[in-house]
Structure 1
Amino acid sequence: MTRRSRNITGAADPRSPLELILTDMLRDTVQLPDAACVGRGELFDPMSEGESREDVDERHRTAVRLCWECPAIGPCRDWSIGEPASDGVLAGRLPEFRRPPGRPRSNDVA
């Protein structure tokens, strides 16, 4: 038997504990339903194992073009400011343009 939470009125909440936790975690996540990237997340991902640098670059260029034509680029950029660094495209920015100035990472190839 699955134990159900109770909402403020005392009625049983039909969502599982995992759903409740995820809902709470995502509550403050930016909502961009009209964003051009919806359903196209693979374009923005970091390099996959076995993927060539040329394929990644082409995929990332496509992602950036989507961003620059996207009606949600403003709110997306605002949201991205607080996000951790990534090796994928974020808010129309390629990874190399989001890195802070300074020494290169130890795994960068010279």
Structure 2
Amino acid sequence: MPRPIDAVRLLELMLADQPAMPHAQCRGRAPLFDSHIDGETSEQRLNRHTQARKLCQQCDHRIECSQSIGGFRAGRDTTPPARPGRPNKEAAA
């Protein structure tokens, strides 16, 4: 039976082929790019993502970034939309 892989090793494997981008505008500003922050309003999220997009537009690493993994990248939120729940029986009737 194969032994389980630890979380740190799994992240290393996932990020192994990702570009380093040491001078990217987003470095050190990860919360701007989070898809969701608990307790924030829709307006706060929109403002935060607007700031993130502006940083991306000024960044020399847009092309490399657009080819990498993750939610908000190259000025776009690539998080898949939430799947709607199944309708209840009354709504389906």
Please confirm whether the aligned pair reaches a TM-score higher than 0.5, indicating the same fold.
yes
> Which residue matches 1:72?
61
Q: How many residues align?
A: 80
Alignment match of 1:62 (pick from 7, 32, 51): 51
The structure carrying a bigger helix percent of its residues is 2
Question: What is the rounded CA distance, in whole Å, between the counterparts of 1:66 and 1:75 in structure 2?
Answer: 15
Which of 29, 33, 46 is matched with 2:22 structurally? Answer: 33
Structure 2 residue 74 is matched with structure 1 residue 91: yes
User: How many Å separate the matches in 2 of 1:32 and 1:59?
Assistant: 22
Structure number with larger C-alpha Rg: 1
Supply the AA of the counterpart residue of 1:51: E
Q: Which runs of 5+ in 2 are unaligned?
A: 1-5, 86-93
SS of aligned partner of 1:29: coil
In proportion to residue count, which structure has more strand? 2
**Identity of matched residues, %:** 36
Q: Which amino acid aligns with 2:74?
A: A
Compared CA separation, residues 53 and 32, structure 1 to 2 (3 A): same
Which of residues 15, 30, 50 in structure 1 aligns to 2:39?
50
Query: What is the root-mean-square deviation in Å for CA atoms of aligned residues?
Result: 3.1
Distance 1:66 1:49, change over 3 A: same
TM-score, scaled relative to structure 1: 0.58
